[in-house]
Amino acid sequence: MKREIAVLKILDHPNVMKLYDVYETSDYLFLITEYLPNGELFDYIIRRGLISPSEALKFFQMLVHGMDYVHSQHVVHRDLKPENLLLDDKNNLKIADFGFASINEPGSLLETSCGSPHYASPEIVKGESYNGPSSDIWSIGVILFALTSGSLPFQDESIKVLLHKIGQGNYVIPPIVPRRARDLISHILIVDPLQRYTIKDIKEHPYFNENGLGKNYPLYKPLMPTDGEITVVDDDILATMEEMYMENENSIIKELLAPGKNLKKTYYFLNFLFVFPQLLIFH
């Protein structure tokens, strides 16, 4: 829960569940978020059965645009699935449940195996070090498969057999899936993460743009390292960053107080502005 709060504090996008405030008492922790009355995408699909191709594409576009932004902030979700995608009163998709999220700085690999087996990437189920965004993209591919076919690409009653199928990339796309969606899925659900499509590749694919709405969202610049001076480290923000990075406080403090630019300083100031929004100056 603390990790989810830490991540949501720094994210602000139309397709990511918005965290407005946090209140804590001796007994309870209250999260004030936007109201999403239409519930989980999973339940939406179950209630309706196979959804229309046009609706499947719209949901997929919102998911991709949201995750494009999340990755631009060097955050990876690591538990993408329809149960963690919520809908507002107009059925706009909102990415939620960042409890397994982590910071994945450029050039670094993650090692923690987490998430739901049916949506986990081959590198995760094999226990290998992995690139966070590429692993999320695999999950996005599984969700596209589910949206367009009403089923999952990897299923088995035996977890051992299930993980073997995922590790081998052993799946069959049903004929009901539209041709362009089939082609895109085949480029996402690739075992080798170096050959797997990137978000940029997905957004340039004909399927993603066939309704003319694929490029309706603005592009987001990656979060950049800053060299702002920090002389005294706030204990509450430090605790938040320990949850975000899953590192000990000494390692984080060392980088916060070091000269030069780094991303930890950027996240420190973003968390500071969440706590003290009145200090935010608009230019």
- Distances in Å between the Cα of 134 and the Cα atoms of 31, 64, 99, 194, 273 are 30, 13, 19, 8, 30
User: Tens digit of pLDDT per residue, the chain (283 long)?
Assistant: 778 888 898 899 999 999 998 888 889 889 899 999 999 999 999 888 889 999 999 999 999 999 999 999 999 999 999 999 999 999 999 999 999 998 888 888 999 888 899 999 999 999 999 999 999 999 999 999 999 999 999 999 999 999 999 999 999 999 999 999 999 999 999 999 999 999 999 999 999 999 887 776 666 677 888 888 888 888 888 888 887 787 888 989 998 998 889 888 888 888 776 655 544 443 3
Angle at alpha carbon of residue 222, lines to 219 and 226, rounded to 5°: 140
Q: Does the annotation mark 79 as catalytic?
A: yes
Contact present, 62 and 93 (Cβ < 8 Å): yes
Contact present, 135 and 116 (Cβ < 8 Å): no
Alpha carbons 191 and 143: distance in angstroms, whole number: 16
Alpha carbons 39 and 93: distance in angstroms, whole number: 10
User: What are the chain's domains?
Assistant: 41-204 (1.10.510.10), 224-278 (no CATH)
Alpha carbons 224 and 247: distance in angstroms, whole number: 20
pLDDT at 276: 52
Q: What residues contact 237, with CB distance under 8 A and at least 6 apart? A: 268, 271, 272, 275
Marked catalytic residue, from 12, 43, 79, 235: 79
- Strand 85-87 to strand 102-103: parallel, antiparallel, or no bridges (unpaired)? unpaired
Chain position carrying tokens 């060299």: 227
pLDDT at 149: 95
Alpha carbons 94 and 213: distance in angstroms, whole number: 17
Question: 31-52: string of b/e by CB count within 10 Å (b at 16+)?
Answer: eeeeebebebbeebbeeeeebe
pLDDT at 106: 83
